[in-house]
Structure 1
């Protein structure tokens, strides 16, 4: 059963029971208390709720103690369908979808500040007729989406998983991650000195700033927060550099370098997660992040504040379970290479991925590196990019940014396992060193289907085509500017300069997208499955999610059941996406009192 929902005036609203195809199964029902009506129908029927936006409606239900099992989030699904049609970024609201289906002018989506400026949900001043119009639009848009989904293989699961993720996000924002403000303050004091006042630097940062200036000589004053001043000071010292990035500074032999590196690290902590962050984001012993489901084009989540996806390792000491409770921390091991193995169906690669440690299982292949891959077998995205390293930032997982942060390991000092890891990362991200070139040759010869899967995605990107995840999440199309730039080579000449770089860049993006977006699909399926199992257990709550890692806050006596639920959910996610693949998706799980003790 599905029930469409529209919020009305003064806490009331409108419900409409729907068939699975979205057609109304009965008349519209007005209710004076929408929260109570949803609670009653959830207990009696456990329907799939159809509403415009989980992020706007569900928090009010949670505050009232009402949690639902399933929903269909019209805005999130509209975004997925627009993306699949190559119309990424078009307005996704119910009224926009309604207008689009009727051939009327499409209104822009409201900005977040415009949404908050509207009258409070359940307490607005709209007249009775407007809520009726809302339910008509909700019902019509849902029916249109159901018709579109029916023609797309796998998309029904994607819509359900994305909507379930929205429920999880809202619940995590409400429940919060257990956080000790006292522990956090003590850590900051230990690392930075006592809390400063009046916008001054903490004592440790000021000491480092003074020593940095002194390192450049008595006549030089350098503000370490000013890249321009740092560059000027190094140039005056006969060490001209193009940037103040850590990997650039590490090449310099100057006494200011270690001081600057330490200052940058501590300053980042103070700015992003210092006392101001603590005052803003932690209350009642909980950190309550504001997740944005599907906030990244690959399907990964973002946050609208609080930096939940970038909690520094040192501050994980402040994440402490309540007395009598435990934290179950679960991390998907080597998720993206396993996803590639399952996607490609490469028999040899799949056999290796059926083991616990994929890199170790592949290590025998890399005892003899072999020669570099030959040009004819490689896409334009790979030719000419070796030696510049993989793309940095939003396109890479947190784990892989850490791998590449100081450059990949080199030469004879690499173990066979490290070689396997380097080759796989290079294949998925489209970059590497001269060592990676040789290792990619081995990967291509031994696992041709896996290599070709990402190569095909890269070629599709270079030609301006769209690529999709396993369930149908679709990459954005190239811009008009990209097409104009890269069309310069249509006369038969090979693209050069900016055009060649644009081709390589999009090829790297699409080769990674097919893997990373499918990994996001798998993670959403894991979340939905785990949420259902935790609900059956009772008090255990999902409280944190980061790409391929989840944290559950649970009564200590239920920790063993939660561990089993995590394993079962990972296996269910594998089956939902990949059927009977032999590829395993093991979860590394720790039951701890403090998040920092998990790794």
Structure 2
């Protein structure tokens, strides 16, 4: 491998690998050498400008880079770089449209963002590894079998965690973690590229890998930017609904008053309403024979205490989930700092690392407030999953229904006598496996009207029931059957199996079938949403390059941006165009429409 800090004549760099160290000797990053220029005759580099007028200090390497061409041949490196080199490194690479390749976007991009530097594209080896090892498109290959993967420390775990991102430079105060060597990063990248088949399935899979990686960039940027949040407004709504902040271990005054109401209504003066066991016993004593205290379970019962209980639960949720303790832990400097885990759910949806970033309840949305001179642009992909089902299945009748703003009404008009409620019940029932009751009664009509759409999800259900894996449209594979499924199947197939064994196996199989039928639709919707986010981010970078318009929140099929007032109209255009482009990218078709609704507001509650 060449150890050089300059590029060969005529070389065209394509990828820039980043790692914590090299296996052997490494040179030193020098932006002048990479540009092929004499530092004495050009403008100072960013690093030189930073150091101007300061005493020379020993540089502490924070990483190593290796520059590759399209064929993955090394052109320059390995080269160590310091924190002061990040500005020059990113500027040089982005000017050449290189793709960054690293183990963990969460770790490496956080370093770049603390220096105010952003990148356009990356390949996250960790996220891509999870997809490639489980995708049916790569099944049977070496990579899916676990051969050729990079080894090293968990850089995701080494990234900053908690309610606030790291301050500039603080990431380098602690000893640097040790991940895979840059040579191992290169070998793993080569193995991942080789694992993608040169087929239609491979093309789809490559789009998914790119979308997952750009999703990681967006999650890191949201983490670094924060969501505008008014502490004053939040405290005011807490006092309005709960009363003054109580001492530790005590309920707020208004919550305690509702607790007293509940005790009186249930004739239980010593009741602890936060204890499900005590609450259930008290309900039984007054004739409410419920199996649990869930809202769904209690909806079948009538008693004056139930209305009081619902009020108590609502206030208690506010106090425990978004009360004063949450506000102190997660809101700093007028910002809530969401911390997302990209692909944290098996379907590809994001999850959150604490703080409730995926659950901002209506009761506190008025605290999400645009800064002066800005607006919140809140966009929502309407009725996304049935539209995705239409596109996946190429069901022309359902695709026609998707052309309007209200897909459920269009479905109702075609096969359910205009009854929108029935159409929605049966459509959701088909996707989520609710095939009894009203949904079951209406299912034959749905199957007759939209045979290809229903056929796709029914096939996914049968595959799951048989213990086989299914995949999303772009190729994310579902998990295999769990231990309970395997054990139940083994017991049912044994020579001394009982009817109870067979019944249990059938029940577990049906449960898995409900999961797989939803997996293919929900997972594909998550892929579309990633592409929407990616195109939205790209549109902003290309058309509003000052990057003052920022994505600050994402939830499944909803995105929020914080936008200067003068850029609102352009951002709204980009939002709509990005949705249309995402549909074209994923499905290579304009058969289905995926409209988005957009609200321009000052506070989040105004968008709902």
The question of 1:468 aligning with 2:482 is answered no
**Retained in 2: the 8 A contact 1:365–1:442?**
no
Q: Deviations over 1:396-445 (max 9, x none)?
A: xxxxxxxxxxxxxxxxxxx6122211111011001155221222111101
Q: Residue 4 of structure 1 contacts residue 50 of structure 1 at CA under 8 Å; is this kept in 2? A: yes
Distance change >3 Å, CA 51–CA 467, structure 1 → 2: same
Q: Provide the C-alpha distance between the structure 2 equivalents of 1:172 and 1:183, rounded to a whole number of angstroms.
A: 22
- For 1:548, the equivalent position in structure 2 comes to 557
Aligned runs of 1:337-486 on 2, under 5 Å?
337-368=386-417, 416-486=419-489
The answer for the alignment partner of 2:122 in structure 1 is 71
Corresponding residue for 1:564?
A: 573
Q: Which residue is 1:252 aligned to?
A: 301
Instruction: Tell me which of 137, 148, 156 is aligned to 2:195.
Output: 148
Greater shift in the superposed pair: 426-435 or 466-475: 426-435
Tell whether the 8 Å contact from 2:599 to 2:607 is kept in structure 1 after alignment: yes
Find the partner of 2:590 among 557, 571, 581. Answer: 581
Instruction: Identify if the C-alpha distance between structure 1 residues 356 and 216 changes in structure 2 by more than 3 Å, giving closer, same or farther.
Output: closer
Q: Give me the TM-score of the superposition, normalised by structure 2.
A: 0.83
State which structure, 1 or 2, has the greater radius of gyration over its C-alpha atoms: 2
Aligned to 2:9: none
> How far off is 1:252 after superposition?
3.1
Preserved contact between residue 458 and residue 508 of structure 1 (Cα < 8 Å)? yes
1:175, 1:355 → 2: CA distance? Answer: 36
| Contact map agreement 1:31 1:37 (CA 8 A) in 2 | no
Alpha-carbon distance in structure 2 between the residues aligned to 1:22 and 1:491:
53
Gaps of 5+ in 2: 1-13, 22-58, 163-168
Following the alignment from structure 2 to structure 1, what is the Cα–Cα distance between the partners of residues 228 and 170? Answer: 29
Counterpart Cα distance in 1 of 2:97 and 2:433: 46
Match of 2:532 among 516, 522, 526: 526
Paired residue for 2:209?
159
| Superposed CA RMSD | 2.9
Q: Give 2:507's aligned residue.
A: 501
- Residue 331 of structure 1 contacts residue 588 of structure 1 at CA under 8 Å; is this kept in 2? yes
Deviation at 1:577, TM superposition (A): 0.5
1:84-233 to structure 2, matched below 5 A, reads: 84=135, 100-101=146-147, 112=157, 122=172, 134-151=181-198, 152-217=202-267, 220-233=269-282
Alignment partner, residue 47 of structure 1: 98
2:594 and 2:273 map into 1 onto residues whose CA distance is 45
1:346-390 alpha-carbon deviations (Å, 9 max, x no partner) = 12111222222211221212345xxxxxxxxxxxxxxxxxxxxxx
The correspondence for 2:134, drawn from 83, 100, 119, is: 83
Work out the CA distance in 1 between the residues paired with 2:96 and 2:153.
36
Take 1:437 and 1:559, find their aligned partners in 2: how far apart are those partners?
Answer: 46
- Residue of structure 2 in register with 1:91 after alignment: none
Q: How far off is 1:241 after superposition? A: 2.5
SS at match of 1:329: strand
Distance 1:27 1:114 in 2: 25
1:324 aligned to which of 336, 351, 373: 373
1:469 and 1:175, CA in 2 relative to 1: closer, same or farther beyond 3 A? Answer: same
**Counterpart in 2 of 1:237?**
286
Q: CA deviation at 1:60?
A: 1.6
Comparing both chains, which one has the higher relative contact order based on Cα–Cα distances under 8 Å and sequence gaps of 6 or more?
Answer: 1
Equivalents in 1 of 2:161, 2:539: separation in Å? 34
8 Å CA contact 2:94, 2:120 repeated in 1: no
Q: Distance in 2 between matches of 1:543 and 1:84?
A: 31
Deviation at 1:255, TM superposition (A): 2.8
1:363/1:417 contact within 8 Å kept: yes
Question: C-alpha separation between the residues in 2 aligned to 1:205 and 1:157?
Answer: 50
Separation in 2 of the partners of 1:27 and 1:453?
A: 50
Could you tell me which residue of structure 2 aligns to residue 377 of structure 1? none
| Unmatched 5+ stretches in structure 1 | 89-96, 369-414
Shift of 1:310: 0.6
Are the equivalent residues in 2 in contact too, given 1:457–1:510 (CA < 8 A)? yes
Q: Is the 8 A contact 1:282 1:288 kept in 2?
A: yes
Q: Tell me how far apart the structure 1 counterparts of residues 103 and 563 of structure 2 sit (CA, whole Å).
A: 32
**Shift in Å, 1:153:** 3.8
Stretch deviating more after TM superposition (290-299 or 528-537): 528-537
Separation in 2, partners of 1:221, 1:125: 54
Q: Are the aligned partners of 2:19 and 2:185 in contact in 1 as well (CA < 8 Å)?
A: yes
Cα shift at 1:502: 0.4
Q: Give the whole-Å Cα distance in 1 for the aligned partners of 2:138 and 2:243.
A: 51
| CA deviation profile, 1:440-498 (whole Å, cap 9, x unmatched) | 11110111111100000001101111111111111110123312312444489997422
Distance 2:352 2:112 in 1: 21
- Asked if the contact 1:366/1:419 (under 8 Å) is kept, the reply is no
Decide whether the 8 Å contact of 1:11 with 1:34 is kept in 2. Answer: no
Q: Could you say which residue in structure 1 is the equivalent of 2:7?
A: none
Match of 2:343 among 275, 278, 294: 294
* CA distance in 1 between partners of 2:161 and 2:526 (Å): 29
